[in-house]
Structure 1
Amino acid sequence: MTILQFNERYPDEASCIHFFKEQREREGIICKKCKSREHYWLNSLNMFQCKYCEFRTGLKNGTVMENSKLPLRIWLLAMTLVSATKKGFSCLELQRQMGHSRYETVFRLYHKLREAMGKRDSQYKLEDMVEYDEAFVSKATKLSERMKLKKGRGSQKQASVAVMAESSILEDLITGEKDKKLQIFQDGQNR
């Protein structure tokens, strides 16, 4: 999602509240007090309230955003910026892009997001046909140091990188031909 698309989709805090409310309803809200799954929405407070014990649950409760005073739109913008680039985002660049004045706040926000993303990745396990490959990738080293290091496969100039991917055999429904291609699974959907 680009910045322009983000601004069109989430122009204000109310649209972000609506988005997070839908996400929480889809996942299901469980009362911390009585473990009930039946809640109703309080518009004036932007919270869910348990039908039985009347315990209130905010949109940020039980998420990476819990105990944060930052608006939901700031969190959503940070999530978009951090996940939209392949090369990554530094905290300082994130602070500049969001127009936030305090580096420490952005630093904590960024590292909470990175921790949550890391935990999510550890939930997936590769099964069935797993392909493994390794490669040696050149490291960024100063020219003066590079001349002193040895050359070749075991060089200190290069880092060993291992990659594993799950693949499966696909069958064309019309011809019946079987074709081995890599399938990428994300959010439970084939892409």
Structure 2
Amino acid sequence: MNLIEVTSKFPDELSATKHFEQARWGDTPTCAYCGSEKLSRRKKDHRFTCLKCNKSFSVTVNTMLHKTRIPLRRWLIAFSLVTDAKKGVPAKQLQRNLGVSYKTAWRMGMKMRKLMYDPAQKLDDVVEMDETYVGGKPRKGGYPNFTKKDKAYYDRAITQLEAEDFDISEGKRKKPWVPKGMGHKTIADRKTPVVGMVERDGNVIAKVMKTISAKKLKAMVEKNIDEEDSVLITDNHKGYNKMNRIIDHIKVDHQKMYSYRGINTNTIESFWAIIKRGIMGQYHKVSVKYLPDYIAEFVFKYNNRNKDDMFETLVTNAMKQKQN
């Protein structure tokens, strides 16, 4: 829902409050304390009073927006601004658009990112997995050297996958520029590792890690991928060396080639590009402490890219039970 639609549909605080009530209770509001349906509404502040236990409460009590002092209509406008921006909205922009202080805008932004954490569903079919490093300075890379021997290896792998009914599509071709040394100790010490996996034409899962190891990568695969019905495509990182023990696995050696007949990691690398452009272009700098929240925002937007309205998903998530 875009900004014009939001301001038109919710012209005042009462209409915004009723929208949150619908998301939380449906057509029948119930007491947040005793569950009774016998309620009266106070016109002054739109709070309810329970006629059974005599307690007063608002629609946000015990939800993710518990004790918020920000008008609910302003929250809806913020939801619209954030879900409509693929690469994110910085706190300074929220401050200007919402007419609040920078501190309030920053807190609202972080709260919305908390609403974007969704339980991950298992990935299957063709899954690409890759690691990236956020922060620090980029290093120059080199060009691949794809030999006839390499071509024969990938031809055999593709033939076997096609025989097992896997659809290896060509994917988008990119300039074969290969980033080198991203995991080098002197560089990685100033960067934060993020590991991601994406099902082609499906969802993405990404996780911030302190360090990358074969043990952690294996655990992530076992938790998030249906190993029986999937094939995993990765780069030549040494952490993936024994991955073929648990799943069909093809490695892309970026020193030799970037993409061949659909064998590539272009999809996950495109997701990394969205994150890095968002952080560099919109947020400019993100601390290690809050990086998982920003990653959750990009994952949420990617996984909901084909849905009609991310806005309503955010409203629904806001009315979920408050997390301790």
**TM-score clears 0.5:** yes
The answer to whether the Cα contact below 8 Å between 2:91 and 2:106 also exists between their aligned partners in 1 is: yes
- Give how far 1:65 is off: 2.2
Bigger fraction of residues in helix: 2
Partner SS state of residue 14, structure 1: helix
The answer to whether the Cα contact below 8 Å between 2:139 and 2:179 also exists between their aligned partners in 1 is: no
CA distance in 1, matches of 2:133, 2:107: 31
1:172 aligns with none
**What amino acid maps onto 1:133 in structure 2?**
E
CA distance in 1, matches of 2:51, 2:73: 28
Q: TM-score, normalised by structure 1?
A: 0.65
1:176 aligns with none
CA distance in 1, matches of 2:106, 2:97: 13
The answer to whether the Cα contact below 8 Å between 1:36 and 1:52 also exists between their aligned partners in 2 is: no
CA distance in 1, matches of 2:35, 2:133: 54
Q: Which runs of 5+ in 2 are unaligned?
A: 145-177, 184-193, 204-305, 314-324
- Give how far 1:134 is off: 3.1
Question: Runs (4+) of structure 1 moved beyond 6 Å?
Answer: 136-141, 184-187
1:156 aligns with 181
- Give how far 1:71 is off: 0.9
C-alpha spacing 1:162/1:47, structure 2 compared with 1 (3 Å): same
The answer to whether the Cα contact below 8 Å between 2:7 and 2:77 also exists between their aligned partners in 1 is: no
- Give how far 1:10 is off: 1.3
1:9 aligns with 9
Q: Which runs of 5+ in 1 are unaligned?
A: 167-183
For these two proteins, the number of residue pairs brought into alignment is: 160
- Give how far 1:86 is off: 1.6
C-alpha spacing 1:89/1:133, structure 2 compared with 1 (3 Å): same
CA distance in 1, matches of 2:18, 2:114: 25
Partner SS state of residue 85, structure 1: coil
Partner SS state of residue 146, structure 1: coil
Question: Do structure 1's residue 146 and structure 2's residue 171 form an aligned pair?
Answer: no
C-alpha spacing 1:130/1:28, structure 2 compared with 1 (3 Å): farther
- Give how far 1:146 is off: 3.0
CA distance in 2, matches of 1:60, 1:109: 15
RMSD over aligned Cα atoms? 3.5
Structure 1 window deviating more from structure 2 (11-20 vs 153-162): it is 153-162
Higher relative contact order (CA 8 A, sep 6+): 2
Q: Any idea what the Cα deviations from partners look like across 1:100-132, whole Å, max 9, x if unmatched?
A: 2x10111111111111211xx12x5337x5542
C-alpha spacing 1:24/1:30, structure 2 compared with 1 (3 Å): same
- Give how far 1:22 is off: 2.4
2:39 aligns with 40
- Give how far 1:50 is off: 2.7
Question: Do structure 1's residue 116 and structure 2's residue 132 form an aligned pair?
Answer: no
Q: How does 1:97-112 map to 2 (within 5 A)?
A: 97-100=97-100, 102-112=101-111
The answer to whether the Cα contact below 8 Å between 1:78 and 1:98 also exists between their aligned partners in 2 is: yes
The answer to whether the Cα contact below 8 Å between 2:139 and 2:180 also exists between their aligned partners in 1 is: no
Partner SS state of residue 134, structure 1: strand
The answer to whether the Cα contact below 8 Å between 1:141 and 1:157 also exists between their aligned partners in 2 is: no
**What amino acid maps onto 1:132 in structure 2?**
V
CA distance in 1, matches of 2:108, 2:36: 29
CA distance in 2, matches of 1:9, 1:52: 33
